[in-house]
Chain A
């Protein structure tokens, strides 16, 4: 009985202890597993972080794989980690040795990798295409241990195999499912990152291409050997090359630029000395350009600030030059217009002073009236300049009050009747019967507009001509042609300006003459401050400054009206404006 009890006890103890042994062992294994798992996760995280950080700067597959291989040893054991990347001509083969191995070992890896690559890509590679780089431990002659464990992972970017990654060991049976899974995961991650980045880059590239294509500035980009990489239509146009012409070389540009701009020399200077160059203005054909030449440097991957080539930008400054010319013309015209009468006054007074003229002298009246005319002219001009300045600074004050447009027009026509008589020009009115008695406007300012338009017409209408001041009510949605017929107004405006369509209900005032008319080209510039339009054929002896129309436009627009002109050369013109009712 005793022995039975002892036996049972022993058995129990054995069972318990073996249970706890196995239990312990199991726990210990679990702990090891857990630690391994943690390590693995940490590693993955670290790789992910590093990849994330570096990929930001690097689009270089090699660099990314270098990052992976560089930290792989923390987790997987290997004698050598290596990768092969297929390039157009060569195969990059990089081997990093953790342990010293023999030449034979490396060659063995190389051959195996080449074989996998050939199988994956279904093409043959030659050993001499392989550009090998070794790093890490040194090669030894002895012992010549063979590759006993070997594991290959294809490197895939954008669904295309670009290479293989391999770990190899002198010991056998090392690479099991676990290691393989991790390697797969990591390479997959890297591949995804590069693939998505490549998509971004592609999209950006497309956007950039579209932008460059549509740019108004001419862009030519070359590589380091001055081969054209990018050229947009504007650049071809700039130098007078057919925009459909493809496969341009720098020589096309050299030929077409002739000696106007040393494109190659400047490019070389810019690329070699890493300098941004800006040319003086260059006249190519009938346009002026400023040409910028800059080196193109890499900012992605590769060596920092490596110069990849050059870019030439043709910036068309013709318009700026025209504007500048207009401004200069305007200034010199103003100076001339101010100085001439002033000089006249000075010279007249010099003459009068020397002569000691008195009122009874026959020349007295002539001389004083000349002085009077010149000073009036100057005063008018100064007034106009002030008006323009006020208009431009928005300081013009419009004081609207209910006024009779009919009265105002009649008054102005009366005022100009004597000038018209002198010029042997008929000046009359055509006013519609249904014109509102009173509308809201600034009578002083609108009177100024009429003055400017009537005196302008007088200048451009020859002897025997006719000027008609017209006014009628236009109702929203109605056709102007019908309205004028009904109102018995001879309306010459045929080709309607967009401005005269879709008008609200307004009064339209027109000053129509059968004078010289204005060419279409000049019409565009008519209300431009800086554009004085000369016509040597016209009878004008008093060149205007053109400011009258600029002022008229400002006043009408301050009334929220529109102003315009319709004209046909040789037949006459109609200057019109609207007043809201």
Chain B
């Protein structure tokens, strides 16, 4: 990787956000932290990240709303939907908005997440 990869993490769970962000920095990439969709959108516009990690259930603006906004902006940035949802209908709703990768948070370690991001970037 010649240039530092920018990963936007949109996640309201502070510990998860910090952990993933720490991991991203550890491998030498750049992490952008957002606690909700609104913050995420601002960072997306300002920073043009290479990849977005997106939680679904969040206050202020949830993941689905953010996906809709990204769609309006005709974003081509790969998104990894990254949730703990037991409610599959919400995931289905998100996946209907476009083709995204989907990962269940609790089932995947930080290493798994990094591996998945790498796969998405090499597509």
Q: A residues engaging B (CB < 8 A)?
A: 331-332, 335-336, 339-348, 350-351, 354-355, 363, 366-367, 370-371, 373-374, 536, 540-541, 543
Q: Could you jot down 29 A-B contacts, CB within 8 Å?
A: A332-B85, A332-B87, A335-B84, A336-B57, A336-B84, A336-B86, A339-B105, A340-B84, A343-B106, A344-B14, A346-B106, A347-B15, A347-B20, A347-B110, A348-B19, A351-B19, A354-B23, A354-B26, A354-B110, A363-B22, A366-B18, A373-B15, A536-B59, A536-B60, A540-B59, A541-B12, A541-B59, A541-B60, A543-B59
List A contacts of B84 (CB < 8 A).
335-336, 339-340, 343
Whether the Cβ atoms of B15 and A332 lie closer than 8 Å is: no
Nearest 8 CB-CB pairings of A with B: A344-B15, A347-B19, A370-B15, A332-B86, A343-B106, A351-B22, A351-B19, A335-B86
Whether the Cβ atoms of B13 and A340 lie closer than 8 Å is: yes
Q: How far is the CA of A331 from the CA of B87 in the complex (A)?
A: 10
List B contacts of A347 (CB < 8 A).
15-16, 19-20, 109-110
Nearest CB of chain B from residue A344's CB, rounded to whole Å: 3
Q: How far is the CA of A340 from the CA of B85 in the complex (A)?
A: 10
Whether the Cβ atoms of A370 and B14 lie closer than 8 Å is: yes
Q: Is B48 located at the chain interface by the 8 A CB criterion?
A: no
Nearest CB of chain B from residue A381's CB, rounded to whole Å: 14
Q: B residues engaging A (CB < 8 A)?
A: 12-16, 18-20, 22-23, 26, 35-36, 57, 59-60, 84-87, 105-106, 109-110
List A contacts of B87 (CB < 8 A).
332
List A contacts of B110 (CB < 8 A).
347, 350-351, 354
List B contacts of A346 (CB < 8 A).
106
Whether the Cβ atoms of A343 and B16 lie closer than 8 Å is: yes
List A contacts of B15 (CB < 8 A).
341, 344-345, 347-348, 370-371, 373-374
Most buried by B among A342, A343, A541: A343
The total number of A-B Cβ pairs within 8 Å is: 75
Most buried by A among B12, B36, B110: B110
Q: How far is the CA of A371 from the CA of B13 in the complex (A)?
A: 12
List B contacts of A541 (CB < 8 A).
12, 35-36, 59-60
Q: Residue of B at shortest CB range from A543?
A: B59
Nearest CB of chain B from residue A368's CB, rounded to whole Å: 11
Whether the Cβ atoms of B13 and A341 lie closer than 8 Å is: yes
Whether the Cβ atoms of A350 and B106 lie closer than 8 Å is: no
Partner of A343, one of B12, B35, B60, B105: B105
Q: Residue of A at shortest CB range from B23?
A: A351
Q: How far is the CA of A348 from the CA of B59 in the complex (A)?
A: 22
List B contacts of A540 (CB < 8 A).
59
Whether the Cβ atoms of B13 and A343 lie closer than 8 Å is: yes
List B contacts of A342 (CB < 8 A).
106
Whether the Cβ atoms of A344 and B26 lie closer than 8 Å is: no
Nearest CB of chain A from residue B72's CB, rounded to whole Å: 19
State whether A336 and B109 are in contact (beta carbons under 8 Å apart), knowing that A344-B13, A370-B15, A370-B18 are contacts in the complex: no
List B contacts of A341 (CB < 8 A).
13, 15
List A contacts of B13 (CB < 8 A).
340-341, 343-344
Nearest CB of chain A from residue B8's CB, rounded to whole Å: 17
Q: How far is the CA of A348 from the CA of B17 in the complex (A)?
A: 9
Q: How far is the CA of A536 from the CA of B65 in the complex (A)?
A: 12
Nearest CB of chain B from residue A17's CB, rounded to whole Å: 115
Q: How far is the CA of A346 from the CA of B13 in the complex (A)?
A: 13
Given A348-B18, A540-B59, 15 further pairs, Cβ under 8 A: A332-B85, A332-B87, A340-B13, A340-B84, A344-B19, A347-B15, A347-B109, A355-B22, A355-B26, A366-B18, A370-B14, A370-B15, A373-B15, A374-B15, A536-B60
Nearest CB of chain A from residue B40's CB, rounded to whole Å: 14
List B contacts of A351 (CB < 8 A).
19, 22-23, 26, 110
List A contacts of B106 (CB < 8 A).
339, 342-343, 346
Q: Residue of B at shortest CB range from A372?
A: B15
List B contacts of A543 (CB < 8 A).
59
List A contacts of B16 (CB < 8 A).
340, 343-344, 347
Nearest CB of chain B from residue A208's CB, rounded to whole Å: 44
Q: Residue of A at shortest CB range from B14?
A: A370
Q: How far is the CA of A346 from the CA of B20 in the complex (A)?
A: 11
Q: Residue of A at shortest CB range from B55?
A: A340
Q: Residue of B at shortest CB range from A353?
A: B110
Q: How far is the CA of A380 from the CA of B7 in the complex (A)?
A: 33
Q: Residue of B at shortest CB range from A347?
A: B19
Nearest CB of chain B from residue A156's CB, rounded to whole Å: 70
Nearest CB of chain B from residue A457's CB, rounded to whole Å: 18
List B contacts of A366 (CB < 8 A).
18
List A contacts of B35 (CB < 8 A).
541
Q: How far is the CA of A363 from the CA of B26 in the complex (A)?
A: 12
List B contacts of A363 (CB < 8 A).
22
